[in-house]
């Protein structure tokens, strides 16, 4: 299959969501704290509503496994927040009211099947709130394999951000978000970048998302001496695919031994790096499992590289 229709729908949905997110972010949004104490903003809900509605309209039989639930917005204390979400979404889709917003967000309550979409409407919410890096991440998974991936990164690269997208077997591409309609796609090819300022690794801003001391040690063992590029979200996959870093490390935090990664935090980025010529695995060298569950229960950590240094990293981890 060419997945041309799926790619077009995913790109259009993510571009619309990115526009909404930037409008919300310009107002410096206040975060809502979820039950797990992680933050969520009006943009998370608006982005998920737009994307889920768009994908459901194009592919009504495809389930969507997304991060957010409409339950938070349905609480009486968030009535004003719900009204604000409606107003933001109306700027992209005028045919909406509070009932439809709840319905559209709820489309993301799907389950992992042989063919499904997985969505993080704002990956890196803390970065979004800080006016820093974040991504809108959408991927189509068929038979456990990511077939289509889109990352909209409004704060990355040139002004207005970059859109990364890939289809399995067809390469990875990038275009400016702001001038998407008037620019030609650029195909990305990862090279063995040894420039002193680019021969570096990237990791999460949040220390709890990994083992930063171990990550630095592993990087040093394979010859990386530069300070890490710390960013929120799957933008780090974009950095590796785009040649701005040669390695992304996300090793398990010693204090969170039972933690397992969510599929929506890695699926879109994985195909973009792989189709650019890079490699993605867990710290044991196994492929990331997007087949069985919304959490990658059988994977420990995530290693993303330009492909050339991947075996060196795995060997350094063994030792």
Residue whose C-alpha is closest to residue 34's, from 78, 64, 66, 88 = 78
Count of CB atoms within 10 A of residue 309's CB? 22
Question: Which residue has tokens 């309550």?
Answer: 109
Which position among 44, 211, 244, 282 bears the catalytic label? Answer: 44
Count of CB atoms within 10 A of residue 22's CB? 18
Phi/psi for 3 (5° steps) reads 60, 30
Number of H helices and E strands in the chain, helices first, is 9, 14
**Is residue 4 packed enough to be buried (19+ CB in 10 Å), middle (13-18) or exposed (0-12)?**
exposed
Question: Is 67 annotated in some ligand binding site?
Answer: yes
Question: Is 265 annotated in some ligand binding site?
Answer: yes
Is residue 95 among the annotated active site residues? no
What does the alpha-carbon distance between residue 101 and residue 314 come to, in Å, rounded to a whole number? Answer: 45
Token pair for residue 100? 């439809």
What does the alpha-carbon distance between residue 101 and residue 78 come to, in Å, rounded to a whole number? Answer: 14
Question: Is 122 annotated in some ligand binding site?
Answer: yes
What does the alpha-carbon distance between residue 273 and residue 260 come to, in Å, rounded to a whole number? Answer: 21
Count of CB atoms within 10 A of residue 230's CB? 16
Question: Is 32 annotated in some ligand binding site?
Answer: no
Is residue 232 among the annotated active site residues? no
Which position among 125, 174, 202, 270 bears the catalytic label? Answer: 125
Binding residues for Mg(2+): 67, 120, 122-123, 265
**Binding-site residue positions:** 67, 120, 122-123, 265
Query: Catalytic amino acids?
Result: 44, 125
């Amino acid at each position: 299959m060419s997945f041309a229709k799926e790619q077009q729908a995913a790109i259009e949905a993510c571009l619309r969501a990115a526009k909404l997110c930037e409008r919300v972010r310009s107002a410096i949004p206040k975060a809502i704290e979820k039950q797990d104490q992680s933050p969520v903003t009006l943009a998370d809900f608006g982005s998920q509503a737009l994307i889920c509605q768009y994908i459901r309209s194009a592919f009504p039989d495809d389930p969507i496994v997304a991060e957010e639930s409409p339950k938070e917005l349905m609480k009486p204390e968030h009535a004003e927040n719900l009204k604000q979400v409606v107003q933001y979404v109306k700027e992209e889709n005028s045919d909406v009211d509070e009932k439809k917003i709840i319905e559209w967000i709820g489309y993301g309550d799907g389950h992992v099947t042989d063919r499904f979409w997985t969505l993080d409407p704002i990956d890196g919410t803390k970065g979004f709130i800080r006016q820093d890096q974040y991504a809108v991440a959408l991927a189509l998974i068929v038979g456990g394999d990511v077939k289509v991936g889109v990352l909209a990164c409004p704060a990355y690269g040139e002004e207005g951000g970059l859109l990364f997208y890939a289809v399995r077997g067809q390469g990875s591409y990038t275009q400016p978000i702001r001038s998407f309609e008037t620019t030609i796609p650029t195909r990305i090819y990862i090279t063995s970048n040894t420039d002193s300022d680019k021969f570096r690794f990237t990791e999460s801003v949040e220390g709890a998302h990994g083992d930063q001391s171990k990550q630095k040690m592993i990087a040093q063992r394979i010859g990386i001496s530069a300070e890490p590029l710390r960013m929120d979200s799957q933008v780090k996959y974009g950095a590796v695919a785009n040649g701005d870093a040669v390695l992304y490390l996300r090793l398990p935090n010693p204090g969170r031994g039972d933690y397992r990664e969510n599929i929506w935090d890695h699926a879109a980025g994985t195909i973009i790096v792989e189709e650019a010529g890079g490699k993605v695995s867990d710290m044991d060298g196994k492929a990331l499992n997007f087949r069985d569950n919304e959490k990658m229960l059988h994977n420990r950590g995530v290693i993303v590289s330009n492909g050339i240094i991947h075996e060196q990293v795995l060997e350094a981890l063994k030792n």
